[in-house]
Chain A
Amino acid sequence: MKKEEVPQDDANMLEGKFKVVKYALNENGEYVKVPSVGWEPENVALGQAWDVINERVEDARQQVLSGKLSPLAFHMEKNMMDEALLAKHMGLPARKVKRHLDPKEFEALDEATLLHYADALLTTVEELKRVPDAPSRAISSDQA
């Protein structure tokens, strides 16, 4: 790949936070590092991976709204976790976390457990007990 062929297809994947380095040839055939803001095939692949995750989040939200699952299911998906990973963060067996996805079991949880869940899922106890009114996307931690 020549220096001037390094793609600059910006899909805001990097949010302007930095550029990625690609290795390419200069006019003398020597390798140089060239900053890039992105490449279409990468953007497509990353975009479709996030679509799947966001569909899971929305699916969980709908199931909470229809009373099939507890809000914990939504917050778990939002953190891109499954029962096993959340259980590890909680120091609980996965089957217990699974049980807490049942609305009735979730209702019965004590404040300390809720606080522990909220901390593991980067949210507050208040938020943990509900789901947003509008479709939501998976996020990573914004808590500093």
Chain B
Amino acid sequence: MRFRDQDEAMAELDRVLDKGLPVGMLTSVFYLPYLPQAFRFHFNAHNIVVFGRKGDEYLVSDPVMDGTTTIHRRALVRARFAKGTPDTNGRMYYPTAVLTKADLKAAAIKGLKRTARDMSNVPLPMFGVKGMPYLAKKLRQYETKLGERRAKLYLGNIIRMQEEIGTGGAGFRFMFAAFLQEAAGLLNKPELNEHAKEMTRIGDQWREFAFEAGRMCKGRPEPGSTYGTLADKLEAIGRAEKVLFKQLAKLPL
């Protein structure tokens, strides 16, 4: 649900919390004082869970943090009603029923199939495995099109999108490999362990890409490293992922 009125949004939050239910909500990281300064951009698609309240201090579980924290009511109102892309509009959601027994096997299969399909088949050039050659092509032109300074900034942005908090490293690749490994045991499909290994190798290549890119941004490139060789790396990663996600999409599960 979303709200036009701030007081109404907070009253509804308090009402649900009083019932003992945790509440998920959309916030802007810019207005979350408990986060380190360096991460506080106007990013309005950050979801947190508020799970209790002591007076005006709300108890928060934020997915980027390894522990819980608190936020004052005033700050929370700002974060819930930030303007931008999108306006957060006090959007919140909470569980009305909790399954006592979840079917993890079915969920794992569904998640795996869905990911493999989305990575392989979205018919747009910048999505899924097609995104890597698309980006590589742009990357090759960074220096000539943007000049050295802006080229470095753009490259730095790629590193950030790939590695910043929440991705688990290598742009979610290691997290996905961990998922494949867990699914192998859960579904009793040992071949998924091999796919996990391949995903890990690809993740390692993403890390090498970011390392080389970081040196470039710093103005101390590795010997022989250019925007061209970085683009080559990205293309190689794209080819490897194309093969892997095709295999996963075809798995009989």
Contact = CB atoms under 8 A, between A and B. Distances in A.
Interface string B32-74: 0111111111100000000000000000000011110000101
Interface in A79-135: 80-81, 85, 88-89
A41 B210 contact: yes
B178 A23 contact: yes
Which of A21, A24, A80 has the most chain B CB within a 10 Å cutoff? A21
Interface stretch (B90-98, B131-139, B165-173, B223-231): B165-173
Nearest to A51: B153
A42 B31 CA distance: 22
A46 B218 CA distance: 12
A1 B66 contact: no
Task: Classify the interface of chain B: helix, strand, loop or mixed.
Answer: helix
Nearest to B84: A85
A140 interface: yes
B163 A39 contact: yes
A18 B178 contact: no
The range of chain B's interface size is 35 or more
B36 A13 contact: yes
Interface in A49-77: 49-50, 52
Contacts of A40: 211, 214
B164 A17 contact: no
Contacts of A140: 30-31, 33, 35, 37, 40
Contacts of B36: 13-15, 17
Interface string A1-44: 10000100000011101111111110001110101000111101
Contacts of B213: 41
Contact of A31 (B75, B174, B215, B218): B174
A142 B210 CA distance: 32
Contacts of B156: 44-46, 48-49
B232 to A, nearest CB: 18
Contact of B163 (A18, A24, A41, A88): A41
Given A85-B42, A140-B40, A42 B160 contact: yes
Interface string B194-237: 00110010011001001101110110000000000000000000
Contacts of B159: 41-42, 44-45
Contacts of B197: 29
A22 B165 contact: no
Contacts of A19: 66
Given A23-B177, A45-B160, A144-B72, A89 B83 contact: yes
B165 A20 contact: yes
A81 to B, nearest CB: 8
Contacts of B247: none
B174 A49 contact: no
Nearest to A49: B156
Nearest to B38: A13
Contacts of A141: 30-31, 33, 75, 78
A-B CB proximity, top 5 nearest = A41-B214, A31-B178, A45-B156, A140-B40, A23-B174
12 contacts: A18-B67, A21-B168, A31-B178, A35-B66, A40-B214, A48-B156, A48-B217, A52-B153, A85-B42, A139-B37, A141-B30, A141-B33
Given A21-B168, A140-B40, A141-B75, 8 more contacts: A1-B174, A31-B177, A42-B164, A46-B164, A80-B41, A85-B84, A88-B84, A143-B74
